[in-house]
Structure 1
Amino acid sequence: MNAIAQIKQLFEQYGHATYDEACSQIYHAEQCATLAKENGYDQATQIAAFLHDIGHFVAQSQNNPDFTPQGYSNHGDLGADHLTQLGFDHAVTMLVRKHVDAKRYLVSIDEKYHQTLSPASRLTLTRQGGKMSPEELSAFSKQPELDAIIALRRFDDLGKDPSLAVLPSSYWFSQIEAYLAS
């Protein structure tokens, strides 16, 4: 099975779950990617925005014992590793990998950020390590892709609106297919 078929299968099988959020994972992915596109981000960032939570689906498909009703805490790393195996480049996988740490980073530098998180995201923050240490903050803030990482995190936070207009998953699957073919 090729990469796009595997991704579609994961979305079809697990994308209707909400993981205690206000909308399904498919709709969340569509929202995040649409926000990236509307804000002028490049194709890699748009695709990463669509795929950033695929690690939840992979964990669920593997019957991972650490999977909870809110998903899998280490879904960033698992998703990035899975996407690497499917042939995605660093531009996509790095954003997928770092979007969880971006939440930890933002909670550490912005006292008000924690209040903007959904209840499920607040709960998983604890499982994901909570606030960053000063050493982690220093290292994270020096990443050359910091702006794109933070943008993806913001789209992740905003993409939980049950009424947001989006480009459909069929559009995003065709974008992914074209990206992998290029």
Structure 2
Amino acid sequence: MRDIVDRLREMFEGEGLRDYLGEDVSMAQHMLQAAVHARTAGAPDYLVVAALVHDIGHFTGVVSGRDLMSGKENHHDDAGADWLATWFGPEITEPVRLHVAAKRYLCAVEPSYFDALSDASVYTLGLQGGPMSAAEVAEFENNPYHRDAITLRRWEDAGKNADAPTLTFDEFMPAIRAVAIRV
């Protein structure tokens, strides 16, 4: 089995160079920017890596990100978390799994959050179930990883700036290797 770092690098340098589903950045730029925001915030390596790989499910799922933008929910949150579980523990996979739910949650509990979403995020929110109901909010808040997912979501939202400087994938290799349960 190939090393997870090599597999991720191939995705970032391949499919990741494509546009990010209606945003002004590529998928790779988006994920790298989210990871830079995590690192700048002083987050532990596991959250930096979760930010780095949060949208990997667009590449590993049965339904692509392109299908999502054409109106078919691709459940990239679950696809990515399930794929990542081969190499990483729940401190990484569960915030990844919950990052879409965190968007739905924030739209339900912070009215101003919705207003700050990009047009593409508003569109996908509709496909992903819209803002959470009160029962869904309570269930989400009972998940032990919900706070990390909310934090990850905010870094993701900030990672859509075409003019923002970013780091390279290789600059995150030590963090990936530090938190991988199997490399």
Normalising by structure 1, what TM-score? 0.89
Between the aligned partners of 1:103 and 1:65, the Cα distance in structure 2 is 17
Q: Give a deviation string over 1:110-154, Cα, whole Å, max 9, x none.
A: 111111111111100011111112111111122333332111000
Q: What's the counterpart of residue 23 of structure 2?
A: 21
Q: CA deviation at 1:91?
A: 0.5
C-alpha spacing 1:72/1:51, structure 2 compared with 1 (3 Å): farther
State the identity as a percent. 34
Q: Please list, as runs of the form range in 1=range in 2, the aligned pairs for 1:6-155 lying within 5 A after superposition.
A: 6-18=7-19, 19-59=21-61, 62=62, 67-69=67-69, 73-85=74-86, 87-155=87-155
Between the aligned partners of 1:107 and 1:74, the Cα distance in structure 2 is 18
Where structure 1 has 5 or more consecutive residues not aligned to the other structure, the ranges are none
C-alpha spacing 1:168/1:146, structure 2 compared with 1 (3 Å): same
Root-mean-square deviation (CA, aligned residues, Å) is: 2.1
Q: Secondary structure at the match of 2:125?
A: helix
Where structure 2 has 5 or more consecutive residues not aligned to the other structure, the ranges are none
Between the aligned partners of 2:11 and 2:65, the Cα distance in structure 1 is 18
Amino acid at match of 2:4: A
Amino acid at match of 1:55: G
Between the aligned partners of 1:174 and 1:11, the Cα distance in structure 2 is 16
Kindly report structure 1 stretches of 4+ aligned residues shifted beyond 3 Å.
62-66, 68-73
Q: CA deviation at 1:66?
A: 7.9
Q: CA deviation at 1:177?
A: 2.6
Assess if the C-alpha contact under 8 Å between 2:88 and 2:181 holds in 1.
Answer: no
Q: Give a deviation string over 1:58-109, Cα, whole Å, max 9, x none.
A: 13xx565982347964111000000012x21110001100000000000011
Between the aligned partners of 1:45 and 1:65, the Cα distance in structure 2 is 23
Assess if the C-alpha contact under 8 Å between 1:73 and 1:124 holds in 2.
Answer: no
Normalising by structure 2, what TM-score? 0.89
Structure 1 stretch 22-31 or stretch 172-181: which is displaced more? 172-181
Assess if the C-alpha contact under 8 Å between 1:79 and 1:96 holds in 2.
Answer: yes
Give the total of aligned pairs. 179
Between the aligned partners of 2:66 and 2:25, the Cα distance in structure 1 is 22
C-alpha spacing 1:5/1:96, structure 2 compared with 1 (3 Å): same
Between the aligned partners of 1:96 and 1:63, the Cα distance in structure 2 is 17
Amino acid at match of 1:145: Y
